[in-house]
Amino acid sequence: MKHGGVTKFSIQNLLGPIIILILLTQFVGGASTSLQLITQSALCLFVMVLALQVFVGNSGVLSFGHGAFALIGSYTSAILTAPVNIKDNALSMNQLWEPLVSPQVNVYVSLLISAAVSGLVAGITGSLLMRLNGLAAGIATFALLGVAYNVFFNNKKIGPGSQALPGVPWITNTWILLLLAVFTLIIVYFINISWIGRTLRATREDAMAAPALGISIFKVRLIAFTISGAIAGLAGGMYSHVAGTFQVQDYYLEFTFVTLSMLIVGGSASIWGALVGTFIITAVGQVLLMMEQDIPVFGIKVQIPLGSRAVIIALTFIVMLLWRSSGVTNGKEFRIPKLKRIS
């Protein structure tokens, strides 16, 4: 089955998602304080979905391990920006490793460092994982997520363990988060039309023929995996500064399946699909959350059991894989229609 994917630069394809993203941020985020918080979280998730699109969307290899890179990015940014007195308190209880107490950097510098650290870890782990294919690759990436989670959850020498690290500086300006999301979108777009994206899609369409054409599947997958890991680290760092805290549990199974659902539902082969999927799953998730909390939705009160939101989103993920694997957008990019000249 053929999938989409841009191959050459088109200003209409690039500007389309950017304009829609700006409009959604403006009108939804500006409606109320609660919707502003939801919009800020959605922008972080959108960056995470873009990270998945770079690798999963182009290679066709399903990765459950990108939550580990988001976790590492979130941890890195949080530990570099949290107040020294909070970290010193953890040290006084003989928990936190002493060299981690004193570092204190600017929020935006910490985001760059979080992306760099996550990209480095992705490159190291990818040098082993990218030799695998199919089910083996999926299981290996899931194992990576499990290892990262258990290391950070059980080791209080490097972080808060099962507790939360408070005092992480907030990014309260939605437009800064939007700027980061747009910047990431542009980077991903140019990766997709570069030789990396085109070659990766070639290996996805015909893994047997690619080596015959001189394509190193391992090399191109490793490059994409490293880049996507760095973007996932940026998303994790952004998320910690929106939440104002770092907690290991925020980046485990639910985070992994929700972000993958966003990519699959929208359409894994395009940036437009990543945006549509993020919007759909975020909107549906908020409606289901209100139903779980017995809050009226558009004046209608429907109560559903706690935990139904995760189940319904998971079922949606499965249904889309079976019924329409190319997603709602069918892997196509959004285009701004060209204006016809009036003669």
Report the number of distinct structural domains present in the chain: 1
Question: Which residue range(s) make up the domain with 28?
Answer: 11-252
Give pLDDT tens digits for 115-143. 999 999 999 999 999 988 888 988 999 99
Give pLDDT tens digits for 193-216. 999 999 998 888 776 777 777 778
Establish if 137 belongs to a structural domain. Answer: yes
307 and 339 Cβ atoms separated by less than 8 Å:
no
Establish if 260 belongs to a structural domain. Answer: no
User: Three-class SS of residue 296?
Assistant: coil
Establish if 99 belongs to a structural domain. Answer: yes
Establish if 316 belongs to a structural domain. Answer: no
User: Between the ranges 217-226, 294-303, 308-317, where is the mean pLDDT highest?
Assistant: 217-226
Q: Is the pLDDT of residue 265 over 80?
A: yes
For 66-86, what is the mean pLDDT?
A: 94
Establish if 153 belongs to a structural domain. Answer: yes
**Which pLDDT value is given to residue 321?**
77
**How would you class 23 by CB atoms within 10 Å of its CB: exposed for 0-12, middle for 13-18, buried for 19 or more?**
exposed
Establish if 144 belongs to a structural domain. Answer: yes
Q: How confident is the model at residue 17 (pLDDT cuts 50, 70, 90)?
A: very high
Percent of the chain with pLDDT over 90: 56
Least confident interval from 33-37, 187-191, 253-257, 335-339: 335-339
Establish if 328 belongs to a structural domain. Answer: no
Establish if 312 belongs to a structural domain. Answer: no
pTM (two decimals): 0.91
Q: Tell me how far apart the alpha carbons of residues 239 and 79 are, in angstroms, rounded to a whole number.
A: 14
Average pLDDT across the chain, whole number: 88
